[in-house]
Chains A and B, each alone.
Chain A
């Protein structure tokens, strides 16, 4: 193969150079794109390790009602049932993340966004929710109602 043939369009040598050039340009753009992709996703916030929180005081809630409390960065739902027992659940609907509320008239937990219904124990009963609400452990410390994450069994 003469030098002249090598420089013709479609010749092997020419194609190799095109691959190098194209590959180089693509690699250059990839090296721009990668940091940008990393940049647009915010750095993960350190988990503050909240696994215990005071959800309220005894006597704050009337029987057959519920209230939202802060559990770290997400909302929780504290319920006082009509027979006087406390129940604490995650208040984030397992469907699309709205904040649920306790409905005294239904004696159930209700998500108004897409009409999801859970039992007082957090079990998903009807509507779109695919999973139950996470239930928390409860104990009393003096007159404070302390909610903790359930220990892994």
Chain B
């Protein structure tokens, strides 16, 4: 029966031509092969986000007077609502984690070098979008923490000289964080960002498919010296099946976390309440938050936070452009980039821990 359907489709669409590139695709096998899994896991968690996000949409209600109550309703009245929301929150956090792991693995394995500069750029843009998803989604339950996080985050955008104020008003839907901001963030979260992400994921995957898997320079050299050491596995089905095992592990971790540590809802936001003591952003913004806290009010004659925001923006831009500072293969990768990558990893990790422990 199934064979008959496939034959019917094949006669019309020539499925073989479509599948051919996947049949030829191979994945290099070496001691670092497992790092190749993280991009796929990130993609899988994005799929989880799409499905659970659509489910949440069935009951969620954007608006300053309804949002908190609707999430409360999902978590207390809707059957398995707590689980769906908990999975959505946990999966979001794990996705950001795996996206960062993927980024750093690409960095250390030097996979961003020619000809894969655009793959890196599209991946970095995806990482920024994912953080945008995190930031916009965080506000949607309209709790106190989210309210002040959004206030601070959008105020930071407002610090950018000249364009900052209009950008902040665009994001907030007015000069203050209000229900108008919530409606906008909802729109960004469920319409604009998903659209952009789908386009960028398609480009990213097309580039990965087109350029094949990168082999780390060290292993490449070993293989050139000793060609018989070179090993590959077929992408389809060998690698894909292994990848699916990784997804299975991911869904196990996700389900356990979501069920054992259900995500909190917190307290409903009160625009006329004081910010609560000990307020902190989500862990993936902690390193930037802690940096901002350490910059003094005035550096020379520039306001500290203007400097912080411009600094963060500049670092982000340089990170995006990183492959263009790198040497072209087959010459050796530049040492200072490796040094910078190690420094960046230490800095992000160190500042996150510091931000977590600091009062």
Tell me the chain A residues, 90-105 only, with Cβ under 8 Å from chain B.
Answer: 91, 95-101
B81 proximal to A (CB < 8 A): no
- Minimum distance in angstroms from B172 CB to a CB of chain A: 9
Say yes or no: is B322 at the interface (Cβ < 8 Å to chain A): no
Residues of B participating in the A interface, judged by any CB pair closer than 8 Å: 148, 151-152, 155-156, 159, 166, 169-170, 173-176, 180, 271-279, 289, 292-293, 295-298, 303-305, 359
Q: Are B305 and A96 in contact (CB under 8 A)?
A: yes
- Which among B169, B174, B298 is the interface contact of A130 at CB below 8 angstroms? B298
Closest partner residue, chain A, to B296 (CB atom): A128
- Total interface residues on A, using CB and 8 Å? 28
**Shortest CB distance B119–A (Å):** 30
Give the residues in chain A near B359, CB-CB below 8 Å.
115
Q: Is the CB of A130 within 8 A of B303?
A: yes
Indicate if the CB atoms of B275 and A113 lie closer than 8 Å: yes
Query: In whole Å, how far is A125's beta carbon from the nearest beta carbon of chain B?
Result: 10
Tell me, in angstroms, the Cα distance from A40 to B166 when the chains sit together. 10
CB distance from A44 to the nearest CB of B (A): 8
When distances are taken between beta carbons in the complex, the residues of chain B under 8 Å from A97 are 151-152, 155
Instruction: State the CA gap A76–B156 with chains docked (Å).
Output: 22
A16 and B156 CA atoms in complex are apart in Å by 46
A-B contact count (CB 8 A): 77
CA gap between A114 and B169 in the complex, in Å = 22
On chain A, the residues within 8 Å of B169 by CB distance are: 41-42
Across the A-B interface, give the 3 residue pairs with the lowest CB-CB distance, nearest first.
Answer: A101-B274, A96-B155, A98-B275
CA–CA, A106 to B297, complex, Å?
A: 21
Q: Are B297 and A130 in contact (CB under 8 A)?
A: yes
B144 to chain A, nearest CB (A): 10
Instruction: For A70, give the chain B residue with the smallest CB separation.
Output: B272
Task: Determine how close the nearest CB of chain B comes to the CB of A71; give it in whole angstroms.
Answer: 10
Are A41 and B292 in contact, with the CB atoms below 8 A?
A: no
Closest to B290 in A: A114
Tell me if B155 and A128 are in contact (CB < 8 A): no
Q: A129: nearest residue on chain B (CB-CB)?
A: B297
Chain B residues whose C-beta falls within 8 Å of the C-beta of A95 in the assembled complex: 297, 305
Closest to B180 in A: A42
Whether A112 contacts B275 by the Cβ 8 Å rule is yes
Chain B CB within 10 A, most for which of A69, A114, A124: A114
What's the nearest-Cβ distance from chain B to residue A17, in Å?
34
